[in-house]
């Protein structure tokens, strides 16, 4: 949510930002917000005048009663009553106007970075950098489900019976590899100075509306029937929600946290074969990182955070690249975002395995996350980034470490988490 002062001062900047995001349908929201804000301020001024006159009129009544001017005192009392009724009406209307204004402001997208490329969708994201040379093996790389099945590492048929489409059982060495990657990612981030957390896996609706836009919520979140609770789509939701309506001290910042959680997503829509299997699923696990910092520090943290993910993948010998997300690919709360993509030897192209975002103060305004500084209370900046999400990472891992005989090599950094195991061999 942007600052209302910015909207008042430069509404055309807000409109131009909407055009850059190809959200022309939202342009009327600017005038609607300005009108509601104007009405709110008019009501506030009238209310302040009535409150200020209340004490003066009360004193006047007392003086008139002492002078036994009963009729005049009763007339002033009538005025006080009328003013009280008007004040009550003002307060009721103000609450209604503020509610409408907040709803409108929450639909207005955050101002994007000047470094964000302009484009309609992810096809227009811009490559920034590549890390490690992409591998092209001299044998055909099978579809990832075929690799997993030969390793006796997955059971999708049983998951369909127990849970439906979009679920799976991981078994044996593959399940151990999955857990090893998460444990390694946890320790990797602790080594970077981040504090490890395991958050709640359900959050209330006021947290949901604070951490994401309504469009995102509808496309992602599962609601618990009969409860004001939603299953988290990423631990960022509950991790940021932890600081809702909190004023931190400047000395506490930056807060650098890394969290583990299962994640639950609707994943609406049909997808091609490469996005089936374990690429787009309803339940997965992830290691996340979040940072809450002062505004002047958020861009440097943004660069550090995506670099941590790159460093992690490179340490596992998986080639990756980074893409600067274009304007049309940014969710409404995002100021700037970079995707980390891993190389797929099978597809001979990169695919997304993580995303790093700077939300500036947009999320903090929705949730009321402030900090005390020498200049007074300010909104903090929030950032989030995927350390690793094993389902997609597993695809990249298996394809990049597959040998011609069907075995999969284990990089040295993961061997301590695999009991010293150096490879996974086919069971079929």
CB 190 within 8 A of CB 196: yes
* C-alpha to C-alpha distance for 325 and 116, rounded to whole angstroms: 7
Say if CB 331 and CB 122 are below 8 A apart: no
pLDDT of residue 268: 58
Virtual torsion, Cα 34, 35, 38, 39, nearest 10 deg: -150
Beta strand residue intervals within 96-153, DSSP E = 126-131
Count CA atoms closer than 13 A to 322's CA, side-chain side: 21
- Residue found by looking up tokens 């609706």 in the block: 205
Contact 373, 247 (CB under 8 A): no
Tokens of 148: 């997993």
What confidence tens digit (pLDDT) does each residue in 27-55 have? 999 999 999 999 999 999 999 888 888 77
Nearest partner of 289 among 247, 256, 248, judged by Cα: 256
Contact 401, 411 (CB under 8 A): yes
| Beta strand segments in 132-264, E | 154-155, 169-170, 195-197, 202-203, 222-223, 230-231, 246-249, 255-264
- pLDDT tens-digit map of 245-272: 999 999 999 999 999 999 998 875 544 4
pLDDT at 158: 95
Structural contact between residues 250 and 376, judged by C-beta atoms closer than 8 angstroms: no
The alpha carbon torsion through 39, 42, 46, 52 (nearest 10 deg) reads 120
Q: Is the pLDDT of residue 222 over 50?
A: yes
Residue range 273-295: mean pLDDT, rounded: 84
Statement: residue 366 has pLDDT above 80:
yes
pLDDT at 275 over 50: no
**Interatomic CA distance for residues 82 and 57, integer angstroms:** 12
Runs of H (alpha helix) within 106-171? 144-150, 156-162
Mean pLDDT of the chain: 92
Please tell me the chain's helix, strand, coil percentages from 3-state DSSP, rounded to the nearest 5: 50, 20, 30
Domains and CATH numbers, the chain: 4-105 (1.10.287.40), 122-424 (3.30.930.10)
Query: Is the pLDDT at 273 greater than 50, yes or no?
Result: no
- CA distance linking residue 388 with residue 379, whole number of Å: 29
Q: How far apart are CA 66 and CA 60, in angstroms?
A: 10
pLDDT, residue 10, reads: 96
Mean pLDDT of 295-299: 97
SS3 58: helix
Of how many residues is the chain composed?
428
Residue 276: per-residue pLDDT: 61
Q: Give the model confidence (pLDDT) of 147-196 as tens digits.
A: 999 999 999 999 999 998 889 999 999 999 999 999 999 999 999 999 99
Q: Which residue has the tokens 């695809």?
A: 395
Q: Measured between alpha carbons, how far is 1 from 106 in angstroms, rounded to an integer?
A: 5
Q: Which residue(s) pair with 370 in the sheet?
A: 247, 379
The pLDDT assigned to 270 comes to: 44
Q: What is the pLDDT of residue 428?
A: 64
- What b/e readout covers 39-65, taking b as 16+ CB neighbours within 10 angstroms? bbeebeeebeebeeeeeeeeebbeebe
Instruction: Check: CB of residue 324 under 8 Å from CB of residue 421.
Output: no
Q: Is 69 helix (H, G, I), strand (E, B) or coil?
A: coil
Q: Which two tokens stand for residue 77?
A: 């009392």
- Higher pLDDT: 399 or 80? It is 399
């Amino acid at each position: 949510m942007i600052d209302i002062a910015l909207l008042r001062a430069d509404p055309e900047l807000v409109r131009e930002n909407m055009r850059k995001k190809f959200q022309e349908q939202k342009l009327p929201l600017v005038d609607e917000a300005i009108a509601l804000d104007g009405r709110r301020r008019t009501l506030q001024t009238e209310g302040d005048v009535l409150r200020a006159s209340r004490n003066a009129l009360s004193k006047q009544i007392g003086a008139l009663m002492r002078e036994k001017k009963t009729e005049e005192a009763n007339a002033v009392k009538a005025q006080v009553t009328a003013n009280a009724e008007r004040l009550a009406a003002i307060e009721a209307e103000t609450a209604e106007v503020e509610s409408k204004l907040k709803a409108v402001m929450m639909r207005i997208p955050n101002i994007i970075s000047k470094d964000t490329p302009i484009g309609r969708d992810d096809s227009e994201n811009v490559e920034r950098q590549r890390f490690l040379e992409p591998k092209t093996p001299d044998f055909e790389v099978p579809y990832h489900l075929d690799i997993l099945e030969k390793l006796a590492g997955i059971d999708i048929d049983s998951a369909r019976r127990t849970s439906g489409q979009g679920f799976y059982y991981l078994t044996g060495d593959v399940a151990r590899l999955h857990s090893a990657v998460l444990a390694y990612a946890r320790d990797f981030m602790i080594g970077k100075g981040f504090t490890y957390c395991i958050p709640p896996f359900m959050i209330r609706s006021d947290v949901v509306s604070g951490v994401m836009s309504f469009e995102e919520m509808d496309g992602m979140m599962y609601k618990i029937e009969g409860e004001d609770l939603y299953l988290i789509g990423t631990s960022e939701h509950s991790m940021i929600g932890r600081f809702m309506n909190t004023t931190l001290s400047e000395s506490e910042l930056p807060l650098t946290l890394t969290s583990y959680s299962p994640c639950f997503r609707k994943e609406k829509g049909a997808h091609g074969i490469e996005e089936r299997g374990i690429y787009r699923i309803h339940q997965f696990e992830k290691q996340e990182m979040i940072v809450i910092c002062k505004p002047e520090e958020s861009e440097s943290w943004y660069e550090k955070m995506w670099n941590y993910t790159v460093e992690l993948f490179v340490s596992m010998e998986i080639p990756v690249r980074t893409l600067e997300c274009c304007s049309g690919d940014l969710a409404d709360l995002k100021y700037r975002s970079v995707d980390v993509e891993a190389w797929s030897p099978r597809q001979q192209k990169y695919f997304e395995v993580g995303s790093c975002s700077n939300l500036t103060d947009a999320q903090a305004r929705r949730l009321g996350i402030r900090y005390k500084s020498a200049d007074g209370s300010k909104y903090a900046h929030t950032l989030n980034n995927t350390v690793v999400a094993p389902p997609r990472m597993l695809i990249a891992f298996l394809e990049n470490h597959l040998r011609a005989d069907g075995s999969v090599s284990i990089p040295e950094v993961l061997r301590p988490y695999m009991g010293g195991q150096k490879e996974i061999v086919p069971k079929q």
